[in-house]
Amino acid sequence: MKAILLLDSGWSYEEVAEALLLDDQTIRNYEKLYKDKGFDGLLSDNYVGCMPKLTCEQEEQLKDHIRKNNYSAAKEIVEYVKQTFNKTYTPEGMVHTLDRLGFTYKKTTIVPGKANPEKQKEFIENYKQLKEEKAPGDKILFMDGVHPQHNSTSAYCWIEKGKKKEIPSNTGRKRINLNGAIDIETFEVTIREDESINAQSTIKLFHEIESRYAQAGTIYIISDNAKYYRSKLVKEYLANSRIKIKFLPSYSPNLNLIERLWKFFRKKILYNKYYDTYEKFKNKCLSFFKNINEYTDELSTLLTENFQIIGEQISKI
């Protein structure tokens, strides 16, 4: 009944599904049943019928099965339970059962298919060792590039029920290319904007880093395996530099703490924001990094060394 009332007030199937902890198809089924049989038919389908409980052993088997398979609709799990255990549930009854078993309806998390959990753990141990053994005057920075595009990015926000909130968009595809490094102890960001990110622009970034940390000893920079970071020109430059690059394992952006800064930047500057000209967009982006000290409190809780390992669930399936 709640589903029908919410649909009638203007909510989308997706919004109703999220609010009631159901899946989209179940909401559509409720609407069809209501149109065919009215509220009486809807209530009869939801609340009358046999809903026997699974045994503890069967529940554990079901939990293990769901962990290893991706179901987008409660109805699909109902069918599995019927075929496997000969027990009958309504979709809504199954939703309540799944909630009791510790499951919730949310998006999956996309991770690199070739992520290597063991290599990631090895990096974390090496990172801890580096922090313990480095000299007091040495620095550790995290480096990466980011390419914000001059267009609006739709994101979640509070919107009146039954209403839509429109954000204007741009037709262009222009973007700015930023290459930067962050010191997570001081939250100082050294960043460059260039026509493109390549070996030459990376060396220019290194010049700025060395100038900024003129009194530092060795400057350890942790980065991904982008080709320009491993190029011959960069290697030749680093041969006579105080900078030493420590490369992350392949397919492990989760270990590069500057990725969290990029995400924070997008949230503050790009999400649900509209800039009618490219110059306004570019200036706003660069202003964020110029005034990074305004976000010190938020960054202090975001840029912590609580590294997350990705790919472990994939390797166990």
Which regions of the chain are under pLDDT 70?
1, 21-23, 39-52, 314-317
313/171 Cα distance (integer angstroms): 40
- Scan for tokens 């099965």, then name that residue: 65
pLDDT for residue 316: 53
Asked whether 249 and 119 are in contact (CB, 8 A), the reply is yes
Asked whether 219 and 210 are in contact (CB, 8 A), the reply is yes
Strand order in the sheet with 188-194: 188-194, 177-183, 139-146, 219-223, 243-247
Asked whether 296 and 108 are in contact (CB, 8 A), the reply is no
The per-type count for the chain, helices as H runs and strands as E runs, is: 13, 5
pLDDT for residue 44: 56
101/59 Cα distance (integer angstroms): 8
Q: Alpha carbon of 140 to those of 38, 158, 204, 245, 275: distances in Å?
A: 66, 39, 18, 10, 35
pLDDT for residue 72: 84
Question: In terms of DSSP bridges, do strands 139-146 and 219-223 run parallel, antiparallel, or are they unpaired?
Answer: parallel
Asked whether 209 and 128 are in contact (CB, 8 A), the reply is no
Give residue 268's identity as a one-letter amino acid code. Answer: K
pLDDT for residue 39: 62
Asked whether 307 and 254 are in contact (CB, 8 A), the reply is yes
**Which residues touch 315 (CB under 8 Å, ≥6 apart)?**
117
Which fold does the domain 117-154+167-316 belong to in CATH?
Nucleotidyltransferase; domain 5 (3.30.420)
Q: Report which of 256, 246, 254, 250 is spatially closest to residue 309, judged by C-alpha positions.
A: 254
pLDDT for residue 32: 78
Cite the residue boundaries of each domain of the chain with CATH code 3.30.420.10. Answer: 117-154+167-316
pTM of the shown model: 0.71
DSSP state of 229: G
Six-digit token string for 53: 């409980």
The 3-state DSSP class for residue 32 equals: helix
Burial level of 114, CB count in 10 A (0-12/13-18/19+)? Answer: exposed
pLDDT for residue 48: 38
pLDDT for residue 41: 63
